[in-house]
Structure 1
Amino acid sequence: MMKTIWTALAIMIATQTMGQLLYPGDVTIAGDEEVVFDYDTDNCSGTMSVDGCPQFFRDADDQIQVIIPHEDIFRMKGPDFNSLSIECGDAVITSDWDPDPAHFNYAEWLSSTWTEDGATIYGLVHSEWHGYDFDGECLSSDVMKCWYNGITLVQSTDTGRTYTHATAPDHLVMSVPYEYDASLQSRQGAFGPSNIVAHPTDGYYYALFYTEENVNGTSTYLQGGGTCVMRTTDLSDPGSW
């Protein structure tokens, strides 16, 4: 993912209960925008930039946590949005940099979280493998055309202090059923998992992701480009989606 640095992140503040919200109707924004994280003043790591949609939830200690997504993932904590502070110690997730693209375990962005009790947190990870980091795996001068992607699952059992996953590639949730092919000269795989939402009656949790057409407008074999939906009844099982 391109390392675009947001110099300021503004988050609209709304009430959040334990876990994620199921909205029965319209959401009304109250109050003005507030700057929650400013890279220039709050960054304490070379990778602590907001390279994705921040996730937030209230944990079992009644603290709000804000996930700062990048290849090393840090968090902010506080009793409310006016009192958040960055934790500059160890990252809650550090990318594994596994060189095998079939493991989906190279550069990892925590893109979506879900918790029922604030103690156990499940997360969907946007997992990138970069062909341009390896000799012979990028046949284009444009590094964006040498990219293989999957979605994986992580879990925290310590209120979000650390996240772990099954031995790769058993943590894989979703990708295209094809190996990386440098000759396609295009991004390949499943990208950008959305927030997880729960259906109120059918027992399923849902999320969106997207796939891309090749740069020449063709599909990656039988997989076309577009937005897709996936679902599961068991958030702890990556193979159940």
Structure 2
Amino acid sequence: MLSVLTAFVPVTARAGAEPHLAPAGAPEVLYSWQTQRCEDEFIPDSPARAFRRADGEMVLIATHRTNWSLVGPDFHNLRVSCRVMMRSTDYPFGTGRLWIQATYTFDGTKIAALVSQDLSADFKRAGCDPRGEPGRCWVNQILSASSDDMGAHFSLAPPDRRTVATLGDAYPPTAKGRYGVFTTSNIVHRDDGYYMIAATQAWGVQETGNCLFRTSDPMDPGLWRAWDGERFSIDMRSPSTPTPCPRIKGLTSEVRSITYSPRHDRWIAVFAGRHLLPGDEKPVPGFYYATSTDLLNWSRPARITAAPTKPREERLDQVWGYPSLLDPQSKTRNFETVDGEAPVLLFTIAHLDNGRGTMNRDIWYMPLKLD
């Protein structure tokens, strides 16, 4: 299977008109923590993902270490489900904190998931001294999980099969910041494979940036491989032999979602950033997008909207983050395409107290126009 998998190259879309995203209305609240939460831990702390269940219901997740969801017949009728999909504390010490980052389903019953595993609290309890340095003692890996009941409950894969991407499961004494494979984009299907982008950072081992991964079957966690510059050959599952992956050039921020526009034959990556565009007097914080025909070569960033992404610099009472693009009218079960002209930009608003984070976080969405 591996020889077949690694022989494939990234899918190249046909040349088409360059897509353009722009706001088409004022932001609206999708989920309010103050009025809709079932538990205090029901906060959005990841980019939004969605899929359609076998019974036709839509599920939207933007999870925390207590993984929860919104469920409803369609995007505009989503309601909080008080059933926890996966709780980090259900696993023993050493498993870390678990955030569902991406899902994929063929039938709406069995769901595969990519999970961000944060081991920082475990390492600190075991004696790692953060020394007041941002990111120190933080080790992160991407694991696999699955559900057999339409996403009601997710369980990690067995220990010998659960790791999808890692750069080591111990914090190196010489490291100077966070270390490992962190967030992932959603999973998308195109022609011969399934793709996702993962953010990486590992002092002395891995360049900070985004790496492209591919699999022939998202239900099998052992088949994910990273692009090596020529093919998908890099197996990043072993913590004892960390293997770096070449970063995607042009995408300097953590990619929060990738979506395919059939009308334009283009991929669209969405991320938060701070960029100086023509006409700007200085770099502007906000939500941006870039486009690609092959998932490897990306256009220059274009701004969707300015947004307060650096609260301590700007002394604001809220910070916006985790942008993701979703078309409620997507023809795919996993909302991986933009098939209409009116997608939405989903994002989190974190309310601050004297510049510090609180549990008070909401999910908002901004109507967009895709030309």
User: Fold-level match, TM-score > 0.5?
Assistant: yes
Q: Secondary structure at the match of 1:40?
A: helix
Residue 170 (structure 1) aligned with residue 161 (structure 2): yes
Q: Deviations over 1:207-236 (max 9, x none)?
A: 10111253xxxx3xx322211011111212
Larger Rg: 2
2:38 aligned residue: 44
TM-score (norm 1): 0.76
- Matched residue, 2:143: 152
Counterpart of 2:87? 94
1:105-120 map, 5 Å: 105-120=95-110
Q: How does 1:2-81 map to 2 (within 5 A)?
A: 33-81=27-75
> Is the contact made by 2:146 and 2:157 (CA closer than 8 Å) also made in structure 1?
no
Residues 1:125 and 2:115 aligned together: yes
Partner of 1:207: 196
SS at match of 2:184: coil
Give, as a single letter, the amino acid of the residue that structure 2 aligns with 1:148: V
Q: Contact between 1:139 and 1:183, CA under 8 Å: does it hold in 2?
A: no
Find the counterpart in structure 2 of residue 238 from structure 1: 221
Matched to 1:193, the amino acid is: T
Does the aligned pair in 1 maintain the 2:180–2:202 contact within 8 Å?
no
Task: Report if the CA contact (8 A) 1:149-1:175 is conserved.
Answer: yes
Structure 2 residue aligned with 1:7: none
Q: Secondary structure at the match of 1:227?
A: strand
Residue aligned with 1:168, SS: coil
Question: What is the CA distance between 1:98 and its match in structure 2?
Answer: 3.8
- 1:31 CA drift (Å): 7.0
Q: Which moved more, 1:47-56 or 1:176-185?
A: 176-185
Contact 1:139 1:182 in 2 (8 A): no
> Does structure 1 conserve the Cα–Cα contact (< 8 Å) formed by 2:124 and 2:130?
no
Q: Is the 8 A contact 2:117 2:142 kept in 1?
A: yes
Alignment RMSD: 2.5
Deviations 1:133-189 (A, max 9, x none): 414212422362110000011111111111112222521100114632244242111
Query: In the aligned structure 1, how far is the partner of 2:56 from the partner of 2:128?
Result: 47
The answer to whether the aligner puts 1:140 opposite 2:131 as a matched pair is: yes
Output the CA distance in 1 between the equivalents of 2:161 and 2:101: 19
Q: Which runs of 4+ in 1 moved over 4 A?
A: 24-33
| Aligned-partner SS, 2:119 | strand
Instruction: Give deviations 1:31-83, integer Å, cap 9, x for gaps.
Output: 76542111111112121110111211111111111113100111111112222
CA contact (8 A) 1:145 1:187 kept: yes
Q: Which structure: greater strand fraction? A: 2
Whole-angstrom CA distance in 1 between matches of 2:129 and 2:60: 35
Shift of 1:193: 0.8
Q: Name the SS of the counterpart of 2:115 in structure 1.
A: strand
Asked if 1:85 corresponds to 2:93, the answer is no
Structure 2 CA distance, aligned partners of 1:111 and 1:118? Answer: 17
Give the conservation status (yes or no) of the 8 Å contact 2:133–2:177.
no
Q: What is the SS of the residue equivalent to 1:190?
A: strand
- What is the distance in 2 between the residues matched to 1:51 and 1:84? 18
Q: Distance in 1 between matches of 2:30 and 2:137?
A: 34
How far apart, in 1, do the equivalents of 2:198 and 2:77 lie?
33
